[in-house]
Chain A
Amino acid sequence: MHIKSEKNRTVELTDIVSECRDISSLLFRDEETRGAKPGQYLMVWLPGVDEVPMSVSAIDMDGLSRITVREVGEMTVRLNGLSPGDRVGLRGPFGNGYTVQGDKPLFVAGGSGAASLMPLVEEMHRQGTTPTFVLGARSADMLLFVDRLEETLGENLVVSTDDGSRGYSGYASGYIAKLMEEDVFDMVYTCGPELMMAKVYQSAREHGLPIQASLERYVKCAVGLCGNCAIGPYRVCKDGPVFDADMLSEVRDEFGVSQMDASGRVTRVEH
């Protein structure tokens, strides 16, 4: 990777858009992010608060790029509380990103997972592929990018909510097991809570389908040096965040099970 993109810089936010309950997008102009691949991430810095990995959720949309932030702690609440004209620090884009593959792909997103998958959907759509997309959330008001996806995919978008407030009632991972029985896919892309992705991986394996899953771990250096984001022999920050079926098989003892905390102790994956 070119060193320029790995260096710290700041960008001015041009807009902050509320996407759904607890989730907002931050829009900015950044030359390096315009060259991002779908599935890559940025390290986003707020001085005095934290620096965290964030998926690029739109690459060069009318000249602007986006990150999409779900409020889960101090850093994310502070990010979503920013105003146009405020600045954030950036490094990246980092990571391997998704590989465009398959004529009939199935996408499965849960929580804020659609943030990382959206640019891939748009790229595939531009290339003439309309994927089937299962978008899951706890309830109807938490469905990220539901309008953007509906516009792009039409009836290839399937919505599921845990509480049944919209679409299929239940977990997205349960729905896709059914979907894989009924239809033939040649690639599965997934991003979301790890326990959901572990189930999606299980279903894909049972149907002999290739898969690409975007993983999350505690990222510190983002350049593959410190090893804090390790899962098995891989560094999520550099070898990932996108893992294919072979990599997932190699880390199956940890995937959906355990992760390292900031001190290097192993803890359980809770969701």
Chain B
Amino acid sequence: MSKLSLAVEVAGLRLRSPLMNAAGVLGMSPPILKRVYDSGAGAVVTKSIGPVPRTGHSNPTLVRVSCGALNAMGLPNPGAEYFVDEVRALKEMGVPVVASFFGGSVEEFAEVASTLSEAGADALELNASCPNVQEELGMLASDAGNVEKVTAAVREETRLPLFVKLSPNVTDIKEIAAAAERGGADAITAVNTLKGMAIDIDFRRPILTNVTGGLSGPAVKPVALRCVWEVAEAVEVPVIGCGGVTTWEDAVEYLLAGASALEIGTAVMTHGFEVYGRVNEGIRRYLEENGFSGIKEVVGLAHQIGEEQDSRADRYSIRV
């Protein structure tokens, strides 16, 4: 019997597996990303690329915390022009490439998107959670108007599938997701890291050079899963889940919540590159054992029951 296929189609992009690495994880150089692909990912996501080279923050840039990690790398990247060759190298190796990118202004977002499209990327992921944008944009991901404006500007520059990656650090992620969709996003990636910090009690000061950082790993999974759930209800375009996926059970939860594909990052720290193959196998077994013929059949399934639960919750809630 041939193995059940894990192939998915996300925003016109056909992938052999729903798994990718999360942006910023292992995305610096083609041979390492090739290793992610060889480990079972359907595509790889590059480090977020900006218009000019950035060295990022100085160390410490990572703190290990219970059930995850805090990082403040500071978007180190060699710049879009330089990265063109890296994208080409990956394409020559036969690896599907999602180029993550950011800019400091609407124009810069559009310009970097254009450069990476011409380089031959298969899709783009707009990093809307960028802490580095000019005052013009403020914290991009928390302003629906700006998210729509930037997405629309990028949309004009590229015909590639465009993912917009959102931050969980917002009051209402549904509103932001809808804005990205209006701007022309083909998929929403939910979510980037949760803002957090760690303090050393002997030195009595923050550990990260940047003071605050992004929390990732199992610690954020329930929050990220809820974000995926909400985004899936708010938009028509596919959702790509990201946040603490470590086991195949986590992955299935995300699929049921409405994710069509998944990004895995921090689990590489605890489970190595093998995590991609292991999660693939687990998803396959789950589908087979439960009589499904493909991933598409389980995407968003939990929402049907969710509706019943919502109405029951209404019934028992106290009315004021």
A: residues with CB less than 8 A from B are 3, 6-8, 10, 43, 45, 47, 50-52, 87, 89, 91, 220-228, 230, 232-235, 260-265
Contacts and interface: CB of A to CB of B under 8 A. Distances in A.
Given A87-B203, A225-B269, A264-B76, 14 more contacts: A51-B61, A91-B64, A220-B59, A223-B62, A224-B269, A225-B71, A225-B265, A227-B29, A227-B47, A260-B28, A261-B55, A262-B56, A263-B77, A264-B29
A222 B76 CA distance: 16
A166 B245 CA distance: 58
A87 B202 contact: yes
B59 A263 contact: no
A226 B64 contact: no
A263 B76 contact: yes
Interface of B: 24-29, 31-32, 34-35, 47, 53-56, 58-66, 69, 71, 73, 76-79, 82, 198, 200, 202-203, 205, 207, 265-266, 268-269, 272
A10 B265 contact: no
B265 A220 contact: no
A8 B207 contact: yes
A89 to B, nearest CB: 6
Given A8-B64, A226-B24, A263-B56, A235 B32 contact: yes
A263 B48 CA distance: 11
22 contacts: A7-B64, A7-B65, A10-B202, A45-B59, A45-B60, A47-B203, A52-B59, A89-B207, A221-B61, A222-B62, A223-B64, A224-B269, A225-B26, A225-B69, A226-B26, A227-B28, A230-B31, A233-B32, A233-B35, A235-B26, A260-B28, A263-B76
Contacts of B24: 226
Q: Chain A contact residues: over half helix, strand or loop, or mixed?
A: loop
Contact of B78 (A3, A43, A263): A263
Contact of B62 (A52, A89, A226, A232): A226
Q: Chain B contact residues: over half helix, strand or loop, or mixed?
A: loop
Contacts of B69: 221, 223, 225
Contacts of B53: 263, 265
A41 to B, nearest CB: 14
Given A8-B63, A262-B76, A265-B53, A228 B200 contact: no
Contact of A230 (B28, B58, B64): B28
Contact of B59 (A6, A51, A224, A260): A51
Contact of A233 (B25, B31, B62): B31
Contact of B73 (A7, A220, A235, A265): A220
Nearest to A5: B64
A230 B78 contact: no
B203 A10 contact: yes
